[in-house]
Amino acid sequence: MSIYEGLTKLNGDLETVPGAAESWEYNEDSTELTFKLRDCLMYSDGTLLNAERFRYSLMRNINPETAGEYAAITDEIMGAPEWRGGDAAAQPIVEESLVASHADGTACTGYDDVECTTFKITLSKPAPYFHTVMSLWVVFPAKQELIEEGGEAWWLEAEYHVGNGPFIMESMEPQVSAYFVPNPYYWDGQPSVNLEFAYITDTAVSFEAYKNDEFDIIQFGAEDYDTIMADPVLSEEAVIYPGSCTFDVMFHQAKAPFDDKAVREAFSYALDRDAWVDDVLKGLGAPTLTWIPPGFPGYQEGETRLGYDPDKAVQTLSDAGYSVEGGQLIGSDGVAIEIVDTFSDTPRNRTRNEWLVAKWKEVLGIDIELNPVEPTTYTALTKDVETAPQMFILGWCADYPDPQNWLSVYWKTGAFGERIAYSNPDLDALLDQADVEGDPEKRAQMYADAQDMLIDSSPGAFFWNNVNTYLVKPWVKGLVLTPMDPGYPGQYVPVEIYVEK
């Protein structure tokens, strides 16, 4: 987001507004979407940025050789799901569905064609939300020649990142630090600050560094909340506001005992979300029984299914033929089933997961093994259905503010829910209808029904919604806050940030 920009972008009110494209238009049935790019767009090195660059980015995202984790998010493009799924015959269909041209419809001649400012996307079905998808990183116009020069790990080197966003990446050491300076060619104004990131897994370490004035902004954890609020200086520097994420305990649908819906429901009934927010998060969160969080289209207030009910948790297991003996869950066949809680290994995560399994032990009587895993390894494990653990905590944060992003993008068969082997054909069918519905009220109701169906299928125990928690030095000014701030407060409108010392 700092160094690239899509055809559209989100503003401080999370509205979709023009980005690299100054305008867009759908045809009558929302199966064609045409963008008009700004004249004389440039990259941060002063070279031309035209529609062919965006065409390349989308082709690369869909190309099965890229194997991008977010490739499915552009499946509305004609031929896209077939090609990325390995059908080579669909590649020409995708090529014909992505057309860069002059305003009069004549073909572009390449990346140096200054008149190449029109980009038309043909969709396989009505997708009235697709202009918002075009704000995401899958369409960011990374340069083809730099990607090819840099090889498989091109993205790990700053020299290969020449973008069109508000900043230039000057240097990067992966998982350690990155340094950004203002882009003098950015069309929407120039930032007035430089950005330096440092990546620190343990929030206790970053908290101490902030107190020593080594950082201007940090995220802080619930473990520091009481300390911050009791400090007359730090309490004034705390910036706390609603976030965009839902966290849940994921249950692998293909690994016993969580292949049994009754077990998933019992674990959900045994989960005291209010106590978690109070005891562990220190109030910096909100318990939830739904997937879409408050403040986003599609949030449903008043959900009570699968809420904390210890007696019902025990009864649900019993009714399904399970028993607990000596701390072990025994199946109806009399065989003991081991249950393991896998988590990213940091001191604070250890404390949190110890609390979690102790509460389940208290309600269900089951001893759950703790499996701490090195953080990078943990992330890799959770991305593949073959390696995803039996049980683990994972979150989803909005890419864009639409129910389609929460439901279709995550829970359709083959999407992100695939990592826990989740597949619900009835849900797929309903979401397919909702995604193409042009009537806003009908569309909203379909997504509401879909979320009801999702909750009823109990893919995991929906747990809590986050809040954004930052400490910000008093000399940092001009922050425009949004629930979706992904890295630091004000990230969606960085040109407004300035330092006053």
pLDDT per residue as tens digits for the range 351-377: 999 999 999 999 999 999 999 999 999
Residues of the chain within CATH 3.10.105.10 domain(s) are 242-466
- Which pLDDT does position 454 carry in this prediction? 98
Counting Cα atoms < 13 Å in the Cβ hemisphere of 431 gives 24
Q: How many helices (H) and strands (E) does the chain have?
A: 16, 21
The C-alpha atoms of residue 411 and residue 422 are separated, in whole angstroms, by 7
Q: What are phi and psi of 498, to 5 degrees?
A: -145, 165
- Which pLDDT does position 491 carry in this prediction? 92
Q: Please, which residues bridge with residue 197 across strands?
A: 178
Which amino acid, residue 395?
Answer: G
Percent of the chain with pLDDT over 70: 100
The C-alpha atoms of residue 373 and residue 388 are separated, in whole angstroms, by 12
**What Rg, from alpha-carbon coordinates, does the chain have?**
24
Superfamily of 8-142 according to CATH: Dipeptide-binding Protein; Domain 1 (3.90.76.10)
- Which pLDDT does position 296 carry in this prediction? 87
Residue 242 pLDDT level (bands cut at 50, 70, 90): confident
Residues of the chain within CATH 3.90.76.10 domain(s) are 8-142
- Which pLDDT does position 487 carry in this prediction? 85
Angle at 13 between CA 41 and CA 30, to 5 degrees: 65
Kindly tell me if the per-residue pLDDT of 17 is higher than 80.
yes
Average pLDDT (185-210) is 92
- Which pLDDT does position 221 carry in this prediction? 83
Kindly tell me if the per-residue pLDDT of 14 is higher than 90.
no
Kindly tell me if the per-residue pLDDT of 382 is higher than 90.
yes
DSSP class of 223: G
Q: How far from chain centre, in Å, is Cα 199?
A: 19
Kindly tell me if the per-residue pLDDT of 486 is higher than 80.
no
Residue 419 pLDDT level (bands cut at 50, 70, 90): very high
48 three-state secondary structure? strand
Residue 69 pLDDT level (bands cut at 50, 70, 90): confident
- Which pLDDT does position 374 carry in this prediction? 96
| CA 423 vs CA 74, 96, 236, 485: distances in Å | 20, 32, 47, 31
Cβ atoms of 268 and 226 closer than 8 Å: no
Average pLDDT (41-63) is 98
Superfamily of 242-466 according to CATH: Dipeptide-binding Protein; Domain 3 (3.10.105.10)
264 Cβ partners below 8 Å, 6+ apart?
A: 251, 258, 458, 459, 460, 461
Collect contacts of 299-305 with beta carbons under 8 A, ≥24 apart. Answer: 300/448, 300/451, 300/452, 303/455, 305/455, 305/456
390 Cβ partners below 8 Å, 6+ apart?
A: 251, 252, 255, 258, 339, 340, 342
Counting Cα atoms < 13 Å in the Cβ hemisphere of 218 gives 23
- Which pLDDT does position 329 carry in this prediction? 98
The C-alpha atoms of residue 444 and residue 266 are separated, in whole angstroms, by 30
